[in-house]
Structure 1
Amino acid sequence: MRDVLSTCQPRPEILAGTFNPEIFTASLSKVLGDYRKGEAREGAASLYSDPVAFFRDATHPTQGLCTILDNALARLTNGDLSRPAMQRLDTAFGGGKTHTLIALAHAAMQGQPLAEHMAGILAPERLPAPGQVQVVGIIGDTVDTLRETAGGAAPKPNTLWWMIAQQTLSSEQQASIQSRLDDASAPASDEFFETLFGDRPTLIIIDEIAQYLSRMEAAFPGVGAEQSAAFLMSLSTYAAGRANVSVVLSLASATNAFGDFNKLIRKLQSTHSMSSAEAEAVVREAQRGVLDVVNRTSEATTPVQEGDLSRIMAKRLFVSVDHAAASEVASAFIETYRQAGTDLPAGANDPQLHDRLVAHYPFHPTLIEFLSEELAQVESFQGTRGLLRTLARAVRRIWEAKLAIPLIQTGHIDLSDSTIRNELLGKTENSDLVPVLDSDISKASGTQATSRTVAGELDAANPHPDGYPVHEWAWRAVFLHSLIGRGGGLQDEKFGIDITSAVYEMASPAIKPATVRSALETIEREANYLRERNGRLYADTVPTLNNILRRIEGNVAHAEAMTRVEQVVRSLIKGSSVFDVHPNIDNSEGIPDKTPKPQLGILAFEVEEMDPARFIERRGDAVRQYQNQVFLLAPSTTHIAGTTWTESRTHQEHRTRQNILTLARKAIAVERLKENPENWGVSHEQLQKGEFRERAAKSPAELRTAIDESYRFLIYPGREGGRVVVRDLGKRGAGPTAGGSGGMHLEDAILKQLADEGELITDDRASTAEAITLLGKLFFDSLKQVNVSDLIERFATRRNWPILQRPALLATVLVEGAKRSSWCLGHMPDKDSHKPDPLYHKDNPPPLTVEPLEKGGEGWILCTKEHAKQLGWLESIVRDPNTVGAWIRQVIDSRDQVDLGQLPQIIEQEHDKVDAHVYQQQLENLFAQRQLVAYPREAFNEEGDADPDQAMTGDSVPVGGVTSGIVVPYQTAQARGWITKPKVENRSFVLRTPEKIKQLFNLLSGTGLAQSQTEVQALQIRAETPDKAPFQLMFGQTKVGALVESRALFAALNNRVRFTTEKHEVRLTLGELDPNCKFTKMLEQLEG
């Protein structure tokens, strides 16, 4: 999408600053005077008196202008009686009334020579020959209403008919109707009009008819206006049937937006010594009669419609405008508005908006509407001239600043420019608002400003990606809408602007509506003079509490702000169960050494540079001993040695530091104002209003949030070789330390970071196999036996070790590791003892009362199980049958197949010596229970597969038992097809009683049968649902243990299906039975 810098070329004099808008000041009186003097021609000094330059450089062919000209000249040149004999111009601000009348005068007087220059405005056949049409011009606001007479007689009125005669007839020609011309009564006969006009085509232009009639009524009460209205009625009747007369008049200026009505009242008061009420009565009476006549006898045309004014301004301000770009820009704006949805006023969704945007290009419609329909109400703004001066200067400033904007919008009017300030504030009598501009929005250019405006500060703190000053532009729109209706305040709908309209005026494809809204919403919180009340934004000369607070902030010293920051830092982490916390440290002396708990040093905010090694490796000048217990928390604003900051990062952190100090000053200012409001002329009642109360609550919270989010860098010795690592904790959101509830507490974030990286052994992880394995490697990295007291110190001194969530957690680790047989834990208080007493391990687990950390771990040792065996500390023979049986299963399951002759030695190596008799008994039990299968060595072929016929398990075990061969887990042999399945007779069970079926489902929804290997050939369930729909479920071949895995299904069936008829049943067919399974007996009891 192209910007206005590339699609528009301003006039050179605008860019040079020499543009004089007075050249576009239209005066019909001067043009007609120049024609009478012969000076209205090409090359004339005045743009409006040069007909060629007038149409070439200053005229945009609006539909209204073209219609007026075509109607008048179709009658006068072509004799077209279908066209209206009398036309009136209805105008508002910048309505093009005078411009249209001048165009009509040029076309009638010059005629055909202008055909080329009027292409697109008037058809060539409408143009008369030069001099063919006589033009009568009456300028109602300047013409004299009476004339002196010879001999000192009473003055005579300058009536409309007398003034027309002076321009159409010579003195000799007037003689025949002189008495009628001098009479104050309006003539009405055709003979009079025939004499007045003859056959010559005559164009009568009456400008400002309402002002003329008001002045006539004041000079000749009860006669002037009435007779003028009567004449106009007669003239209209006469002209209607004669093609050689066309009347064009305007009457809107007396009450239009320029304030001429008030001017007229003042003029009558001055010239006729009238009171204001008398003058107003005269004006009302004069207008009543003429409006009635004119409205009934003339056809109304508006010279300038919506959209025309933008084209007119563009023609006067730019050499060229690429209107082809307008459609693309309009589409982009429409899409922006569509995405915003309800955040914009209804007009943003107008189906005609695209066409309006194109028609107003390169201006946004709301800018022209503001200038022409609102600011124009201010009398001293001078209407079109004021608009032209403002836009000319605005365009120059845009090009000087090289603003790459797609449309010129309200906020782009540069209020720092002295010329624009004078135009918009000086000439509208709003100079008292200058402090508002200088404080909140835009300081005057060229001044030695030592500080930014509030909007400037906000734009610096929250820069737009494209560098647009969003706050300044958005606030300008609010300010400009505060120039009108100030006297009526919020009761005047023109005063101020609602937030959705302000968003609409300044939103663009690059500045989304949500961004503009956010900028506007800061007004109430940040601005000194801009306010928000009942959804309306406006400027006020009375400073807000924000202004007072900002003055207090300015008196808060740097040291005071820093002290407040330190107070907040002290409260970031309170009552930590893991760390001893030391806030606001600036050197390594602030972190003690040789303490039981890990130490967390929170760096002072004022520290700008720091070297982590100085804190971790030393305490002051001494070498730190407990280096693994040092953790540092630093703000993002502190540069950490070893890290590289880009220029952008440097600027960013500088802004962060200044923002936090500013927030600290704000918090202090709020407190000072709250404590002593009378010191600043504020009442306690003002502080009870919602605005201040909300500010007082939010200010400390905003400071806490900013500081909490800044302290995001955690520094500590890492697991990889103990090297110092720096970790970014992120902003975490509005956590508890920031007074919110949606984010993560700062200490929680620290602990999570350490736990995720394995730097912290938490209560939850201490008893896990992962943690026990990790710590076992660290405990026995160089020795097979260590003192517990040494382990305690190593957690504090060895930088590649993790830390414990609490020191007592080491006891949990030591006991749990012994239980898991990861190591042996022994008590050996006498160093001369040859073995610990007791020695705890998996087969001799520690009791609940054991306390290996008592007296700092003195007298307690930790060793590997292999080490204990080597020293003969595990020589006791295990005779517990369950333990021996479990060891046999564990050894065989872990290897798939084991030589039976080597099995005892393997068990001793991995566990302990066992009683031979118990060993043999447990081995026979496992064969009988079909948990193990033995094969002679010769049963295996070359591929390693065993002959099923030589399998020894269950009933096939020889009478003397198995004494040699290869032992395999039963399930493994079964899976490999090394076992011939015994012939089994299937058994079927049928249950129909709901109570018994419920008991069956209870069995299958529990865990008691989870290990059952009993085969299930089929399970069929026929029932109905609560709404009596049939229900059927079938299982194929499986095992009882597998069915139990679907326990949730059977629990659900117990509650959701019904067994109400003989057809409803559960049919179960079993195959090979698990000898250890009691399921069959349970079924027999249920079926019986």
Structure 2
Amino acid sequence: MSSALRGIRSTCVPRPDVLAGGMSDNQFAAQLDKVVRDPSGYEVYSDADRFFDLTYPTSGLKQLLAKTFGRLAGVAGDDGDHGVLRAETSFGGGKTHSLVAVYHLAKGARPANVNDFLDTSLLPEGPVSVAAVVGDALDPVNGLATNGLTSRTLWGEVGAQLGPAAHQALAQSDLERTAPGTETLRKALGGRPTVIIIDEIAQHLRQVAESGNESVRRSAAQVPVFLKNLFELAMGDPGVVVIISLASSGDAYAKETSELGQLLDGATRAATAHAESASVLSRSGRVIQPATDSEIAEILKRRLFESIDPAAAKEAGEAYRGLYEQIGETVALAGGAESPARYGDAVAASYPFHPETIRVLDKRLGSIPNFQRARGSLKLLAEVVADLWEGTANPEIINVADINLARLNTLNHLTIAIDRAAFSGVAKVDLAGPESHCHAVDVARFPGKPPFATRAATTVFLHSLEMRAGVGAGRSEYVLGSLRVGEDPEILDEALAEAERVCWHLTYDGTRWRFHTEPNVNKIVEDGKRDIPSTRVTEETKALIAKSFTSDAGVTAVVFPTSPASVPDEPRLRVVAFDYDHLSVEGTSSATAPPQVVEMRDRAGAAGSLRAYRNAVVFVVADTGAVEDLKDRVRSQLALEALVTEPARLATFAKEVKTRVREMYDDSGLNARIAVTRCYKHVYYPVKDASSNHLAHRELPAAQKGDTAKSVIRTIRELLVNEGKVRTEPIPTNWLRQRAWEKPESTTTKKISDWFWRDQSALLLLDPTLLTDAIKKGIANDGWVYYDTLTEKAYSATSATPAVQLVDTAELYTAEEAAAKGVLGRPPSLGDVLASVSPATTGPALRAALEARCQKEPTKAQVADQLAEAFRQGKLVVTDVTPAAGVKALGVKEIRERSLDGFHILTKAEADSLGVQSAVAKPASKRIEAKTGQAGVALSNFRDELMDKGKPLVEMRLTVRAEPGRGPQDIDLLGMAVAQMPKQPAKVTIDVAASMPGLEGVIEIRLEGDKAKYQQASSKLGPLLKAAEEIDGTLTLTLDFGENGVTVTDNAFSTVDSVIRGLGPSELTVEGTLA
């Protein structure tokens, strides 16, 4: 309810009999004959005081009373001029109600509120004779007993009601079934003030015209004669008033009247009699319409409510005027709302009913023959009011959508009672009650909000009952009938669209929504679902879940683990999805992690040892309440698949049904994938909080259509990021040393990295470059020393920045510890050797000079390697004897193989001046030979040689291998690297053979192409390779750096190096080609 408006339960007071509910027809149906003949059994209408209290003084009723009693009082002018008055129908009746009012006042009743209805000076002081004859009460064959007198004709009954003298005067005319003349009638009235009321004359005409008694049939022609004579008498006698109701185009019995001649099957007497009667009346009387359309709401309000707060009515009018002014720009309003100011006044006037409620009852349902407009509307709205006061709903106004079809009396009144019984089942299955399809939409789509689907569908339902052309509700109609102040009409559009997906009888033709009694495509699919075996549904559902939980974004999925051994205890994030048959949780009790989750977090391996990397596992558990919905979506997909793959069956459907079936099939896979995310929504991730068993619970947000391009794993990763569990900011070096170093003075990079996966308080380190960058900052700014034990190289603030690897062979020291351990030096470079050579340098002297220069004694092999490279470049000459003329210099192989202790090292100029015979150096290779090992080791060796070569790199080839027993993990990792490579051209080559479980032979895959094309194909190749029982082969990524190439300091090379190290394939081969 809008906060700007009060609920009607605080502004209106219903009448007690309305609140009691279950009101009978007698309480709403005005029956003149019962008031006359059985007043004790017809209390509501026979008790004049109560009758007038419940009656709204319409303009027509006041006019009828004024003219009736004004004539009897001898008032001059229009109020006294007409002796014959015709009461015409509006809104089902006002007519009979008005006749009862005349009858009560003519009989002498003087209710307390009589002043609201007429000027009491017009009421007679003396007695008035009254006859009220209802045509359908007459019995021309058996006779009708009144006051102990029996009559068989209309005039005979008038005499019986006026008294014995009148009856005696008309007895012979009654016996002969012949209309009495005016003098006989005057004698019967005896000169007394008289009111004669004749109701339902058309029904009486049908009765006599169709009688099996010939004399009765002949009397049909006497009815217009009687009326003519009676009218002439009344027009000439100011003490006589005749009030007659004759069916017209607006009357509830207009259909019977207009068809009277046809129903006589050629017998024209009735048609002629009716035409003559109407003609007589049109010449003699004054037509009075008891109630206008504008007074309908007042009639309903007066009968159903004791009091209505006028201030609340004004507030509602202003609020709804504002609403329709606001939405009028986007909704083509009709029904009067296109003029918001006037419609706001209409809202205030009809409050607590919305004008659209009155319009639908009057104009839409009122056209259904069996819906009595006055009686039907009053009885229906009495049920609606009783229902609202019995329940908890407190709407701001009673609109069409507030009619609760879940209330059986209300539903029966709108279906069975008006010959629309088939619609009762439609309502029950689609929109009435907690088991309906619309209720399911409201629970799933609009939790904690108004039931928009049920409200909009209720409005559409009432617009669907006419069963004629143009039936149903367009946008203006369901918006007017459903929208409350403060709501957006688009939410109703969405609600109906969602309802159409599940309802069995709701359709949309592009313009109007409508409920049919025939089933729609949803029902056809529902029937087909019953043919799908449950075993197949379970199999397909679990296959879909497994497909949805594929490794992605650097996160590994573990689907349906059977024990802790199913989840490796490794420092890499894994998302564990439980089989819903093994474990699911109720939404209301999901905050605490189930014991199965805790056990798998705590234990690892077949022996159940303690899990070391507890921060590396995140768990996803199905919602118990959503499992069946997921299986139902899968069942629907299978049923639709069965339909579209059976051309013969599909051909039996209409074109629009076939189109809809194909559309639903196209959507079914998407809907099933969405259902997976809505089912597997309970996520438990590690935290440092003993009160929650160190596992926090969050729910995945409900997936929409646009989200399905993302894997569930990626969605979970985003959830962890949003919850602040994933580190995205740079790591402070002081914090890192205090928290993650194994010892205050030293650690390994692997142990630092592992700490993030061991400590449940740590943020997940999904981007390892954050750690490598922090280590580089520690080296540059905090005096850390990075030492690669494989290459025996140390890096400090004064050296080149290392390519940091997170491995056990990469050590970190404080500066003090590094000095103590003697690891601060570095291996000599070619430049170091050239700078350290002086005239007549020997091998031991050069080694000593390099130790002083590099702060570490180099190995003899390291010195020999650099001397060989210097010789190859023509910069130094080496002999193993005292250099002199004719002495032959050593070649590359000899330099590497002979003892450094006997070397003499000369510059090229010195050697030439001494006459040393120089060996011929082979030209430097343009290739960097394959470096194989762990990713970090291979890349470091490759990087070092590239630096030593001193030439740009034009092409780089990275190869990983899949071998039996190892699986495609390294291929997956290098494949992930493809998307992160620099913009240089790249080519991917894959050559693998795979065997599948239970099948003979192998699948061979040999593909080569651009990296972008490979990325497109990898989504198909990945699942295939994962499904393989054994796999053997390679994946090579070839990067083209162009003619100019790159060096180790270029961003392109650094990016490749960083990405590959971060992903960490277990074995990598790197090769290169130089410029």
Fold-level match, TM-score > 0.5? yes
Q: CA deviation at 1:121?
A: 1.2
**1:618-1017 alignment runs, 5 A limit:** 618-623=604-609, 627=613, 630-635=616-621, 637=622, 654-675=624-645, 683=652, 689-708=658-677, 710-711=680-681, 713=683, 715-716=685-686, 726=696, 728=698, 731=701, 734=704, 738-740=707-709, 746-747=713-714, 750=717, 753=720, 782=743, 784=745, 822-826=783-787, 838-845=793-800, 858=809, 861-868=811-818, 871=822, 873=824
AA in 1 matched with 2:660 = E
Matched-pair contact (CA < 8 Å) for 1:202–1:244: yes
Cross-structure match for 2:495? 519
Q: Deviations over 1:16-49 (max 9, x none)?
A: 5674432554344455668xxxxx8xxx554488
Structure 2: 5+ residue stretches without partners: 144-150, 585-593, 832-853, 857-1075
Matched-pair contact (CA < 8 Å) for 1:9–1:321: yes
**1:152-167 alignment runs, 5 A limit:** none
The alpha-carbon distance between structure 1 residues 512 and 464, as it changes in their structure 2 partners (threshold 3 A), is farther
- What is the distance in 1 between the residues matched to 2:88 and 2:356? 22
AA in 2 matched with 1:845 = A
Larger CA deviation: 138-147 vs 362-371? 138-147
**1:481 is aligned to 2:442:** no
Q: CA deviation at 1:756?
A: 9.5
Q: Secondary structure at 2:114's aligned position in 1?
A: coil
AA in 2 matched with 1:261 = K
Larger CA deviation: 512-521 vs 113-122? 512-521
Q: Secondary structure at 1:522's aligned position in 2?
A: helix
From 46, 69, 72, give the equivalent of 2:65: 69
Q: CA deviation at 1:125?
A: 0.7
Q: CA deviation at 1:123?
A: 1.5
**1:439 is aligned to 2:408:** no
Cross-structure match for 2:334? 346
From 537, 554, 557, give the equivalent of 1:578: 554
AA in 2 matched with 1:207 = D
Q: CA deviation at 1:424?
A: 3.6
Cross-structure match for 2:106? 108
Structure 1: 5+ residue stretches without partners: 35-39, 149-155, 444-450, 638-652, 831-835, 881-910, 914-1088
Matched-pair contact (CA < 8 Å) for 2:88–2:251: no
Cross-structure match for 1:97? 95
Cross-structure match for 2:125? 129
Q: CA deviation at 1:548?
A: 3.3
Q: CA deviation at 1:505?
A: 2.2
**1:535 is aligned to 2:511:** yes
Matched-pair contact (CA < 8 Å) for 1:588–1:620: yes
Matched-pair contact (CA < 8 Å) for 1:81–1:242: no
The alpha-carbon distance between structure 1 residues 192 and 753, as it changes in their structure 2 partners (threshold 3 A), is closer
TM-score, structure 2 as length reference: 0.61
Matched-pair contact (CA < 8 Å) for 2:223–2:273: no
Q: Deviations over 1:985-1040 (max 9, x none)?
A: xxxxxxxxxxxxxxxxxxxxxxxxxxxxxxxxxxxxxxxxxxxxxxxxxxxxxxxx
**1:474-513 alignment runs, 5 A limit:** 474-485=456-467, 488=468, 491=469, 493=470, 495-509=471-485, 513=489
Cross-structure match for 1:1023? none
**1:45-60 alignment runs, 5 A limit:** 46-47=42-43, 50=46, 52-53=48-49, 55-60=51-56
From 2, 8, 30, give the equivalent of 1:26: 30
Cross-structure match for 1:425? 415
Q: CA deviation at 1:126?
A: 0.4
Matched-pair contact (CA < 8 Å) for 1:582–1:600: yes
Cross-structure match for 2:846? none
AA in 2 matched with 1:439 = V
**1:303 is aligned to 2:290:** yes
Matched-pair contact (CA < 8 Å) for 1:81–1:243: no
Q: CA deviation at 1:590?
A: 1.8
Q: Deviations over 1:851-876 (max 9, x none)?
A: 7769x665x65444444556595699
- What is the distance in 2 between the residues matched to 1:808 and 1:413? 62
Q: CA deviation at 1:157?
A: 12
The alpha-carbon distance between structure 1 residues 797 and 214, as it changes in their structure 2 partners (threshold 3 A), is closer
Q: Secondary structure at 1:589's aligned position in 2?
A: helix
The alpha-carbon distance between structure 1 residues 683 and 821, as it changes in their structure 2 partners (threshold 3 A), is farther
Matched-pair contact (CA < 8 Å) for 1:186–1:231: yes
From 391, 394, 397, give the equivalent of 1:404: 394
Q: Secondary structure at 2:67's aligned position in 1?
A: helix
- What is the distance in 2 between the residues matched to 1:662 and 1:23? 48
AA in 2 matched with 1:303 = P
- What is the distance in 1 between the residues matched to 2:31 and 2:719? 80
Cross-structure match for 1:907? none
From 542, 554, 576, give the equivalent of 1:601: 576
Matched-pair contact (CA < 8 Å) for 2:501–2:522: yes
Q: CA deviation at 1:564?
A: 4.3
Q: CA deviation at 1:70?
A: 0.7
TM-score, structure 1 as length reference: 0.60
- What is the distance in 1 between the residues matched to 2:244 and 2:515? 42
AA in 1 matched with 2:743 = S
Q: CA deviation at 1:118?
A: 1.9
- What is the distance in 2 between the residues matched to 1:17 and 1:506? 24
The alpha-carbon distance between structure 1 residues 257 and 56, as it changes in their structure 2 partners (threshold 3 A), is closer
- What is the distance in 2 between the residues matched to 1:411 and 1:828? 78
**1:433-472 alignment runs, 5 A limit:** 433-442=423-432, 452-462=435-445, 465=448, 470-472=452-454
Cross-structure match for 1:37? none
**1:225-304 alignment runs, 5 A limit:** 243-252=238-247, 255-256=249-250, 258-259=252-253, 261-262=255-256, 265=259, 269=263, 274-275=264-265, 278=266, 285-286=272-273, 288=275, 291=278, 294-295=281-282, 298-304=285-291
Q: CA deviation at 1:385?
A: 4.2
Q: Secondary structure at 1:457's aligned position in 2?
A: helix
Q: CA deviation at 1:415?
A: 4.0
The alpha-carbon distance between structure 1 residues 101 and 618, as it changes in their structure 2 partners (threshold 3 A), is same
Matched-pair contact (CA < 8 Å) for 1:381–1:428: yes
Alignment root-mean-square deviation, CA? 5.5
Q: CA deviation at 1:251?
A: 2.0
The alpha-carbon distance between structure 1 residues 511 and 465, as it changes in their structure 2 partners (threshold 3 A), is farther
Cross-structure match for 2:994? none
Indicate the percent of aligned positions where both proteins have the same amino acid.
23
AA in 2 matched with 1:479 = F
The alpha-carbon distance between structure 1 residues 442 and 410, as it changes in their structure 2 partners (threshold 3 A), is same
Q: Secondary structure at 1:458's aligned position in 2?
A: helix
Matched-pair contact (CA < 8 Å) for 2:90–2:293: no
- What is the distance in 2 between the residues matched to 1:17 and 1:712? 46
The alpha-carbon distance between structure 1 residues 784 and 252, as it changes in their structure 2 partners (threshold 3 A), is same
- What is the distance in 1 between the residues matched to 2:172 and 2:756? 125
Q: CA deviation at 1:755?
A: 11
